[in-house]
Amino acid sequence: MRTMVRQRKVCVFVFLVLSVVLVLVVSIRFVSQDQPGRFPLSGRTSGVDSYNDRPINEFQAPYQANSLRHYGKDEITSGMHYGKHETAAGAPSRDVLWQEPWPGKQVDSRVPTEVIPTVHYLWCERQKFQFHHYLGILSVVRVLQPTKLVFHYAHLPLTDSYNSWFNELKDSIPYLELSALTPAPLQCKSRDTLNTAIGFLTKKGGYYIGTNVILARAPSLANEKEGSWFAAPPTSDDKTRCIVGARGNVSAARQDTLVQRILSAPKGCVEPESYTDKADCVHLNKAILPRDILDADAPFAELARWLYYGRRARLVVQPDPSNPIPRISHFVKLENNNDFPFAELYRGELTFSHFLSILSALYVGGFQQVYLHTEATPHGRWWDELAGENITILPLDRPHTIYQNKIGVIQHVSDITRYYVLNKYGGAYQDFDVIWSSRIPDWLLAYPTVVSVEWTRSRSTPEFPETFNPGVFMSRSQAPWLRHYLASHKDYHTDDWGYNSILMSYRTYELYPDTVYIDRPLQVICFAKRVHLPVICHPTWDKDYRRDVEDSRPAMAIADWRKEVRAFHMTQPKPHPSMASPAAIGNAKDMYADVARNVLEKSGKSHLLSKS
């Protein structure tokens, strides 16, 4: 009997132990699986430090989600987070494994080198990893073509919606390894920190590069008796800002000698403005952006293009008159659906402002056809007035997901649908609050994709040099920029209205600048922050065009809207009071009424004014 009792107790104990173990295993697996397209809210970085063969578990500040982005409105808070797990699969990135050969710049892969092809990079301060930092790393990637790049960090870089270059770095370089500095340096730019950096070479040799410096040509250690080489002696304010190569391991005694040689070296790097092909290295004295190097003739711009894009030539989109964008204007009309927030904005029959927009496309913009992609046949007086016009109704079944991500708001449904439509048919897309004021010239249709820029300066994304507004754009079917942009939706943010439609469209342009033409007159956006404030139109060819949404200062005056503007985009209020009805057009004496009157006259509908 006692034996049976003991056996039962043992069985119960074993059962309890196995149950606890099973629960722990399931919990660990559940917690460790990041949800697609989302970020761990704990902000804790996990992984493996492959250089020191130990786990990484450095606590970082919690992720702050970006606030909702409203068209024509601004964000309230900014999202600042750390360089781990911010970029989901599918976010745009560069292909750095291909580059145009540049003899004299890059190492000759046909000649064996005695230096181990490992590069060590030191990131010490808690700051943003900006584009010029990325160029520094790309310089050793392009020039040295290493097989291992170790990113030593005291703190992982800060990133934001624009400065996501560190995420791009991680997505682009397969041989990148992250290594936490323990303990972290007390003074990032000191001699002691330089000693730490040179210490990376003590095991096997290799190369070290600091921040804010670019390697401009392949090094040679053949004439160095001590087996070391350096192209970039540091600046007086940053003793780690250098580039060092070592053949073989660096002993402790030799390390002190090498550090002293580096600090006392007379030769320095040049600034970008003074760069020539003879320079070994470049000290970056200020931040630069991709748009600064795309079309510039300066020698440094050529070098920077090769580093980022792998090509030296100026990156300018080329027209092809033999393959023009078709003169088809597309509208997308979604019906009210309670499954989507704010869907009431799309309720109702075809309005007079819709009528005016369609007529402007056919009779002012120079489009031969209008394709109306809609979930239901339009109705009402103003639809009846369009009888006999060259309008094709195409039934629409709205998308509910993109790359298996649920589309959360109706504005995103409209955004995504317009890109699907143009990728299939080609032509122009326009919102219903867009009124064409002049004919699209044939030369503009020769480009593969034509876009225009947004006037608002976002509070939460001030780093973006520009952004695109998708209320009006044109494209050939299956154009490269369209395909790349749609692919960027693999990183889809359902809770941020402007991330994909506004921000990622510009980032796609930065990645593929020779696939899109920016036409600033394509649309002039007119907006009033509040009902009692005057409507302000914002020509984006004005030097001071970028404004905070609360800025009510007058913008640059439009001297001749028939010649200077292709389309007006009336974002708020909609419709503009002077365009709200034939009676309003007939009574008003301002520019807006003139634009609307021009549409009615050219379409043969001016008789509507006499009936008002």
What is the C-alpha to C-alpha distance for residues 179 and 152, in angstroms, rounded to an integer? 5
**Domain 328-611 class, CATH top level:** alpha beta
pTM, entire model: 0.82
Run of H or E including 56: strand 54-56
Q: Based on the number of CB atoms within 10 Å of its own CB, is 460 exposed (0-12), middle (13-18) or buried (19 or more)?
A: buried
pLDDT at 23 over 60: no
Q: Which carries the bigger pLDDT value, residue 232 or residue 566?
A: 566
Looking at per-residue confidence, does 590 or 68 come out higher?
Answer: 590
Least confident of 99-113, 357-371, 429-443, 568-582: 99-113
Q: Which amino acid is at 278?
A: K
Closest listed residue to residue 571, CA positions, set 601, 537, 609: 537
Q: 204 in helix, strand or coil?
A: coil
Neighbours of 422 (CB within 10 A): 24
Cis peptide before 183 (omega within 30 of 0): yes
State the Rg of the chain over Cα: 30
Q: Which amino acid belongs to residue 44?
A: R
| Weakest mean pLDDT among 70-79, 213-222, 298-307 | 70-79
Contact 495, 408 (CB under 8 A): yes
pLDDT at 79: 36
75 pLDDT tier (thresholds 50, 70, 90): very low
Q: Which residues contact 5 (CB under 8 A, 6 or more apart)?
A: none
Which stretches within 87-190 are classed as H helix? 131-144, 165-172
What Å distances lie between residue 474 and 113, 484, 585, 606, CA to CA? 51, 15, 29, 29
> Where does the pLDDT of residue 47 fall: very low under 50, low under 70, confident under 90, or very high at 90 and above?
very low
Residue 308 has pLDDT above 60, yes or no: yes
Q: What pLDDT, in 10s, does the model give residues 141-158?
A: 999 999 999 999 999 999
As a whole number of angstroms, the distance between CA 138 and CA 106 comes to 12
- Bigger pLDDT: 433 or 259? 433
Query: Is the model's pLDDT at 5 over the cut of 80?
Result: no
Q: Cα–Cα distance between 257 and 247 in angstroms, integer?
A: 15
Burial (CB count within 10 angstroms: exposed 0-12, middle 13-18, buried 19+), residue 353: buried
Of residues 165, 120, 124, 181, the one with CA closest to residue 146: 120
Question: What are residue 330's phi and psi, to 5 degrees?
Answer: -110, 135
For residues 57-77, give the mean pLDDT: 30
For residues 2-15, give the mean pLDDT.
Answer: 53
Tokens at 24, concatenated: 């722990």
* Phi, then psi, of 355 in degrees rounded to 5: -55, -45
In our burial notation (b when 16+ CB lie closer than 10 A, e otherwise), range 190-219 reads eeebbbbbbebbeeebbbbbbbbbbbbbbb
| Count of other CB atoms within 10 angstroms of residue 457 | 17
| pLDDT at residue 230, rounded to an integer | 67
Q: DSSP string spanning 301-355?
A: HHHHHHHHHS--S-------TTSPPPSEEEEEEPPP-TTSTTGGGG-SS--HHHH
Is the domain covering 103-269 a CATH 3.90.550 domain? yes
Task: Report the run of H or E that residue 394 belongs to, with start and end.
Answer: strand 391-395
* Tens of pLDDT, residues 171-190: 999 999 999 998 888 789 89
Residue-level pLDDT at 85: 34
HSE-CB of 592 using CA atoms within 13 angstroms: 27
**Dihedral sign of CA atoms 391, 394, 400, 401 in order:** negative
Residue 512 has pLDDT above 60, yes or no: yes
The confidence band for 237, taking pLDDT boundaries of 50, 70 and 90, is confident
The pLDDT value recorded for residue 14 is 53
Q: Tell me what the pLDDT averaged over the chain comes to.
A: 83
Give span(s): CATH 3.90.550, the chain. 103-269, 328-611
Number of H helices and number of E strands within the chain? 15, 25
pLDDT at 344 over 90: no
Do the Cβ atoms of 155 and 224 come closer than 8 Å? Answer: no
Query: With 90 as the cut, is the pLDDT of residue 429 above it?
Result: yes
Conformation bin of residue 598: beta by default, left when phi > 0, alpha when psi is -120 to 50: alpha
Alpha carbon separation from 42 to 88, 145, 493 (Å, rounded):
17, 36, 19
The per-residue DSSP string of 480-539 comes to HHHHHHHHGGGS--TT-TTIIIIIHHHHHHHHSGGG-EE-GGG-EEEE-SSTTSPPEEE-
Residue 197 is inside which H or E element, if any?
helix 191-198
**47-70 average pLDDT score:** 32
pLDDT at 525 over 60: yes
Evaluate if residue 328 carries a pLDDT over 80: yes
Q: What is the pLDDT of residues 371-391, one digit of tens each?
A: 999 998 899 999 999 999 999
Q: Are 501 and 462 in contact (CB under 8 A)?
A: no
Res 285 pLDDT > 80: no
Residue 145: phi, psi to the nearest 5? 50, 60
At residue 86, φ and ψ (nearest 5 deg) are -80, -25
